[in-house]
Amino acid sequence: MKFELLPNEIFIEIFEFLSIFDIFYSFNQLNNYFNQLIRTIPLHVNFKNIQKSIFDRFCKFLLSNSDVKNQIYSLVLSNKDTSDQIKTFLSLFSLNEFLHLHSLTLIQVEENILQKLKLIIPLIPQLHSFHLFDSNDIYLTDPLTSNLEILSIPTLSSINKFSSITNLTISACSLDQLFHYLFKYAPMLTYLNIQYLSSYYSYTTNYSNIDFMKAIHLKELIISNFEYKFEDFKLLAKYIPKLTSLKFYGTYDLDMIDANQWEYLIISLLPYLDTFKFIFNYIYKRNDNHIEDKLNKFQTDFWIKQHQWYTEYSLSNYSALIYTIPYMLNSYTLELDSNRYSNQLIKTFNNVKNLTIYHTTIRESGGHYFSNVTSLTILPPKYAYRPQLGTQAIKSLKNIVNLSNLKYLGISFEFKIKDAYVLLRILQEAPKISSIMISIRALEHFAYNDEACEYLNKMIKKLDIYKYHSSSFKFHHQIENFCKIFSNIEQLKCNIDRANDLLYSLNHLPKLSMLKAYLWQISDYDYFYSWFKKATKKLNLLFNINYRDKQETELSIWINRNIS
């Protein structure tokens, strides 16, 4: 059977596993059948973390195939680690050209760009989802269109036209903002996700004796950091009576770990609550002998039999952590001297993708095991001078972390790595690693180990060897050796003292598409800028240079290069 004779449904299912860029570069103009097929599927275009060459190529394709714009249902534009991607895209296209655009996401957008977009976005007839991420200085004073149902914004401000919003994500806000604005002007809200709920964003604390409107349609609430006391949440609960799902992270208040108070609150104020996932972190005195008694009260029939809300807890010298299982966050820090208390045969940490672990806890894990970690950071023991990371620690690490899924490894610059075999052992046990943060001094130990160099050259695409106010390369021969070992590197963050070494790295790392270099010994900024612009004229790159001040004379250079 010919490949193109397979049913359309199979190809459409295959396309779901490919990026939109791969689909068009592979199937467009292949034959008439595929030309027609790929022009019937909805497109979700995500330019986040995309090389500039791919971005430019796809924009050029859109300019010459205007009909494809009608297939785009979602669009993600990002200024993060790019050279004004949002501004560049908007200089080529007007968003109202995308007639079927349902969702728009902007990452690190600038205020002046957003102000211009406010005039255009209401002209997009089907837009119902809008997201602003990593744009903490942006204040959205008015909704962009009355059709919006799903919205993500940095914080609440004096908005009074939220009537169509049903799904809202807020980076940070306060309780009084919820009471005075949100519950009043967003009556149809069913889903609310708040990353930080804190009094830091308050303009008044006089809300306890005022009768506000209730969010009677709100069913799902997520609060990633609740920086109030339990009594404040009790007040909030009065205004969300129909809540069915609550995910909650609370810290430092003793009442937060009082199971009896939670039981009374749920029965009296949240009778429809079906899903309750929480993490409570409490700092206690070392001689507090009653802390375990309080934590064990979450094991009564109300929690276990009536609701099936299972918990376990972990104790270190000065802190207690109790959480529902499985652990709900994708990040976890394995504290020093922490011991886990669990009677459940549940894979507690399956959701954890990002793990931070102290060197001391590698030897004594306290019963923790993480099977799905993709990002691992190893920190040194506190107050230790130049601690060593040896092969025995790596052997013990395998009892805590399944290394086979690991993609990123961060090793604190404080570590002295014993020999090349340490890192080689990790690379052998973790075949998916492509990104490392490590001291350049540690890497230099591996320069004389051919097998380690071969693994580094083959596997590592992204490398961070930056250390504040410290040169990565003291001598020119070091950067020569570095460029040989990492000839396949694609992204690099480092310190480079000498301008000629910076130019050498750009000329001898052929696959390098992104570089963040910090220079400390540039005395004349204007002269350097002129020289660098001229010296790199033929290298097909864009760069931004940030000058800190005359005292430190730091230049941070962000470079993005087209790689064909």
pLDDT of residue 338: 72
Burial class, 460, CB count within 10 angstroms (exposed 0-12 / middle 13-18 / buried 19+): buried
Q: What are phi and psi of 366, to 5 degrees?
A: 70, 25
Instruction: Give the angle 120-126-130 at the CA atoms, nearest 5°.
Output: 65
Output DSSP code: residue 212: P
Write the secondary structure of 369-412 as one string of H (helix), E (strand) and C (coil).
CECCCCEEEEECCCCCCCCEECHHHHHHHCCCECHHHCCEEEEC
Q: Per the domain annotation, does 74 fall within a domain?
A: no
Query: 460, 491, 517: which is the final residue of a domain?
Result: 460
Longest Cα pair distance anywhere in the chain, in angstroms? Answer: 77
pLDDT of residue 302: 97
Q: Per the domain annotation, does 70 fall within a domain?
A: no
Tokens, residue 233:
């949440």
Which residues are bridge partners to 376 per DSSP?
Answer: 355, 409
One domain for residues 184 and 288: yes
Listed as ranges, residues in the chain with pLDDT below 50 are 1, 551
One domain for residues 337 and 301: no
Q: Per the domain annotation, does 39 fall within a domain?
A: no
Are the beta carbons of 97 and 123 closer than 8 angstroms?
no
Distance CA 220, CA 294 (A): 28
Tokens, residue 205:
């604390």
One domain for residues 162 and 266: yes
Domain hosting 450: range is 331-460
Q: Per the domain annotation, does 179 fall within a domain?
A: yes
One domain for residues 211 and 297: yes
The secondary element (H helix, E strand) that includes residue 40 is none
Q: List, for residues 393-451, the tens digit of each pLDDT value.
A: 777 888 889 999 999 999 888 877 767 777 888 888 899 999 999 988 888 777 778 88
519 three-class SS: strand
Q: Per the domain annotation, does 259 fall within a domain?
A: yes
- Split into its structural domains, the chain has a count of 3
Q: Which of 492, 462, 461, 460 is nearest to 479 (CA)?
A: 492
Q: Per the domain annotation, does 158 fall within a domain?
A: yes
Q: Per the domain annotation, does 277 fall within a domain?
A: yes
One domain for residues 216 and 237: yes
pLDDT of residue 410: 93
One domain for residues 242 and 360: no
Are the beta carbons of 235 and 265 closer than 8 angstroms?
no
Strands laid side by side in the 331-334 sheet = 331-334, 354-358, 375-379, 408-411, 435-437, 462-464, 491-495, 514-519, 555-561, 541-547
Residue with tokens 């375990």: 292
One domain for residues 436 and 419: yes
Question: At 564, which CATH number?
Answer: 3.40.50.150
Terminal Cα distance for the chain, rounded: 35
Distance CA 471, CA 475 (A): 10
Output DSSP code: residue 3: G
pLDDT of residue 204: 64
The secondary element (H helix, E strand) that includes residue 264 is helix 259-269
Are the beta carbons of 227 and 257 closer than 8 angstroms?
no
pLDDT of residue 354: 97
One domain for residues 225 and 297: yes
One domain for residues 217 and 319: yes
Instruction: Give the angle 243-248-252 at the CA atoms, nearest 5°.
Output: 135
From residue 309, alpha-carbon distances to 234, 268, 327, 501 in Å are 20, 18, 12, 58
Instruction: Give the pairing of strands 555-561 and 541-547.
Output: antiparallel
Query: Taking all residues of the chain, what is their mean pLDDT, rounded to a whole number?
Result: 84
Tokens, residue 195:
């990353």
Query: 324, 357, 376: which is the final residue of a domain?
Result: 324
Q: Per the domain annotation, does 124 fall within a domain?
A: no
Torsion sign over Cα 542, 436, 403, 333: negative
One domain for residues 192 and 269: yes
Query: 324, 339, 355: which is the final residue of a domain?
Result: 324
| Dihedral angle over CA of 177, 183, 189, 194, nearest 10 | 20
pLDDT of residue 226: 95
Which residues are bridge partners to 323 per DSSP?
Answer: 279, 312
One domain for residues 271 and 415: no
Distance CA 146, CA 127 (A): 10
One domain for residues 160 and 238: yes
